[in-house]
Amino acid sequence: MAAAIELADRDGIESISMRKLAQELGVEAMSLYTHVRNKADLLDGLADAVIGQIPTSTDGADWKASLRQIVFAARGVVLRHPWAPRAVQAQTAPGPAALHYINAVIGILREGGFSIAQTHHALHILGSRVLGFTQDLFDDSGDLEPEAAASLASALGQSHPYAVEMALAVTHAGTLGPCDDDAEFEFALEFILDGLARLQQS
Amino acid sequence: MAAAIELADRDGIESISMRKLAQELGVEAMSLYTHVRNKADLLDGLADAVIGQIPTSTDGADWKASLRQIVFAARGVVLRHPWAPRAVQAQTAPGPAALHYINAVIGILREGGFSIAQTHHALHILGSRVLGFTQDLFDDSGDLEPEAAASLASALGQSHPYAVEMALAVTHAGTLGPCDDDAEFEFALEFILDGLARLQQS
DNA sequence: ACCTGAACACCGTTCAAGT
DNA sequence: ACCTGAACACCGTTCAAGT
C-alpha cells in the first residue's frame, strides 16, 4: 500500500498498474493477487489510506471552528496527494478510514446542535468539499499570455462576451489577478459555514 | 458522436473503446482516427455534446429564477445521461458548448448585478452543481435491509455512533426516510442561491 | 479523403504449477 | 501461504498499404 501511494505521488494514479506496482516491489504482477482481490480493491485501499492520513481530532471552540479545522486538514492531505480526489471518487465502498472520518464530521454537527435532518442536508451541501476538494467546472488558474488574451478577445468576444470578460479578469494583468484555488476553497467553505449557521437557527 | 452517446447510454462510458465504437458503426477501429485525433479527443467531444443538450435560454424574472432554471435544465440532461458527470470531469479542455454554457451562466450573474469578483466566487461556490451534478462523499440513497441495519448497529455502533445514527435515519424505516437525491440537490441549490443573494448585498 | 489489416506495447486476470 | 510463468482476452495507437 505504501509503495502504491509512493508510485501515485510520483507518476500519478492513472499510471498505476498491477505490473508496474509489482515491479516497484521487485515481484511478479500476479503476486499482488495474494494480498488484494483485484485492482478495484487496491484502489479502494489507496483511497482509504489517504483518507486515513487526515487527523480527525479537533480542539475547536464550537462546531464551526471544529469543522473548519478538520476540512482544512483534509485539504492539506489532498494538496500533498493530488491524485486523492480521483481515488476517492473511484471508490466503490467507503473503507474504515472513510467511516471514521465521516463519523467525526457528523459528530461535530450533531454535538453542535444540528438535528439529524439538518446534518443530512449539511453533508449534501458540503459534498466533496468536506474531504478537502471540489469539482470545479474547469480550470481557471492557468494564466494567459498577452497575445493569447488578445486573440481570445477578438475571436470570442462577440459571441461569448461574459466568458471572455471573466477569463481576462483572471490573469496577471486582469482586475482579479490569477485565480488562487486555496483562497477560493476557503471562501466557499466560509460561505457554506455561514449558511449552515443560518440554517440551524431557522 | 451520436453512436458514442448511444453506446454510453446503453453500456456506460467505461465500456467505450475505439474497437467497440467502430464495431457499432460497422467499421474498423482505425477508421475512427480519420475523424478524431485520439480517444481523449473523442471523450472531449462526448462531454461537449452532452453539455450542448442543455438549453441555455431563460425567461426568469431575475437572476435567481434564471439560474435555477438553467441549472435544473442541466440536471435533467445529467439524469438522462448518467455517464455525463464522468465525461465532463475527464474533459481536458472546455469545448464550444461548454463555453457557450458558462457564458450563459456568467451572463445571468453579471446582468443580475454581481460584480466580476462576486461572479468569480459564485462559480467556485457552485462548482459542478452549475452543470447539474455534485460529487457526494458516498452514496447514501441505497436502502438497508432490516437485518443489515441491525448488524450495522451492533458492529459499528460503539466506535462510530454518529455515522450509524445517520445511516439508520436514512432508511425506509428511519426517521428521515430514504435519501431523495433530487430533493437534496434542489435544497443545496436554494441554500447557495440564498447565500449568493446575501453575498451580493454585502 | 477515407478505410483496412497487421503489428506493437501495453492492460487485468485465469490457471496450473511450483516453494 | 505466497510466488511464478504462460496464456487469454482485451486495450490505444503506429504504420504501410489499399481505394
Domain ranges of chain A: 2-137+180-201
Q: What is the mean pLDDT of residues A32-45?
A: 97
Of B5-14, B116-125, B130-139, B154-163, the least confident: B130-139
The reply to whether A188 touches chain B by the CB within 8 Å rule is yes
User: With 90 as the cut, is the pLDDT of residue A157 above it?
Assistant: no
pLDDT at A181: 95
Contact A89, A55 (CB under 8 A): no
A150: pLDDT confidence band, cut at 50, 70 and 90? confident
Contact A135, A128 (CB under 8 A): yes
pLDDT at A142: 67
Contact A176, A170 (CB under 8 A): yes
Residue whose entry in the numeric block shows the C-alpha cell 440513497: B141
For helices A181-201 and A63-80, give the axis angle rounded to 10 degrees.
Answer: 150
Q: How far is the CA of B97 from the C1' of C7 (A)?
A: 38
Tell me the C-alpha distance between B201 and B119, whole Å.
13
pLDDT at B137: 76
User: With 90 as the cut, is the pLDDT of residue B149 above it?
Assistant: no
Domain A2-137+180-201 architecture: Orthogonal Bundle (1.10)
The reply to whether B89 touches chain A by the CB within 8 Å rule is yes
Chain A positions in Cβ-Cβ contact with residue B132 (cut-off 8 Å)? none
pLDDT at B202: 86
Of A86-90, A142-146, A151-155, B144-148, the least confident: A142-146
Tell me the C-alpha distance between A74 and A8, whole Å.
18
pLDDT at A140: 75
- Pick out the nucleotide with least CA–C1' distance to A22: D3
Q: How far is the CA of A153 from the C1' of C16 (A)?
A: 65
pLDDT, greater one: A136 or B10 = B10
Q: What is the mean pLDDT of residues A81-85?
A: 97
Q: How far is the CA of B90 from the C1' of D15 (A)?
A: 29
User: With 90 as the cut, is the pLDDT of residue A60 above it?
Assistant: no
CA B39-B43-B47 angle, 5° bins: 170
pLDDT at B36: 96
Q: What HEC string does B165-185 produce?
A: HHHHHCCCCCCCCCCCHHHHH
Determine, for residues B102 and A176 on separate chains, whether the beta-carbon distance falls below 8 Å: no
Of A125-134, A168-177, B100-109, the least confident: A168-177
- Pick out the nucleotide with least CA–C1' distance to A42: C12
User: With 90 as the cut, is the pLDDT of residue B155 above it?
Assistant: no
